[in-house]
Amino acid sequence: MSNKLIDLQNISKSYGSNIILDEMNLYIRENEFLTLLGPSGCGKTTTLRIIGGFETPDKGQVIFDKKDISKLPPNKRQLNTVFQKYALFTHMTIAENIAFGLKIKNKSKTYIDDKIKYALKLVNLDGFDHRMPDSLSGGQQQRIAIARAIVNEPKVLLLDEPLGALDLKLRQDMQYELIRLKNELGITFIYVTHDQEEALTMSDTIVVMNQGYIQQIGTPEDIYNEPENAFVADFIGDSNIISSTMVRDELVDILGAKFTCVDTGFGENKPVDVVIRPEDVELTAPEAGTIQGVVTHIIFKGVHYEMEVTANGFEWLVHSTKMYEVGTKVGIYIDPFNIQIMHKPVSEDEEAVSIDE
Q: Residue 178: is its pLDDT beyond 70? A: yes
**Most confident region among 46-50, 169-173, 180-184 by mean pLDDT:** 46-50
- 4-225 and 239-345 have identical folds: no
The predicted pLDDT at position 354 comes to 39
The residue count for the chain = 357
CB 19 within 8 A of CB 212: yes
Give which of 143, 203, 135, 214 is closest to 174, Cα–Cα: 143
CB 28 within 8 A of CB 65: no
Report the run of H or E that residue 240 belongs to, with start and end: strand 240-248
Q: How far apart are CA 25 and CA 249, in angstroms?
A: 33
Strand order in the sheet with 270-276: 257-260, 251-254, 240-248, 270-276, 340-343
The predicted pLDDT at position 47 comes to 95
pTM more than 0.95: no
Burial class (CB in 10 A: 0-12, 13-18, 19+), 98: buried
Q: Coil, strand or helix: which one is 92?
A: coil
Instruction: Give the strand pairing for 314-320 and 188-193.
Output: unpaired
Q: Which CATH number fits domain 4-225: 3.40.50.300, 3.30.420.40, 3.40.190.10, 3.40.47.40?
A: 3.40.50.300
Nearest 5°: CA angle at 303, between 300 and 305?
Answer: 35
Average pLDDT over every residue of 303-311: 95
pLDDT averaged over every residue in the chain: 89
pLDDT band for position 86 (50/70/90)? Answer: low
The predicted pLDDT at position 286 comes to 96
Q: Where are the domains of the chain?
A: 4-225, 239-345
Q: How far apart are CA 72 and CA 347, in angstroms?
A: 40
The predicted pLDDT at position 355 comes to 41
The CATH T-level fold of domain 239-345 is OB fold (Dihydrolipoamide Acetyltransferase, E2P) (2.40.50)
The 10s digit of each residue's pLDDT in 27-53 is 999 999 999 999 988 999 999 999 999
The 10s digit of each residue's pLDDT in 263-295 is 999 999 999 999 999 999 999 999 999 999 999
Buried b (16+ CB within 10 A) or exposed e, 323-343: ebeeebebbbebeeebbbbbb
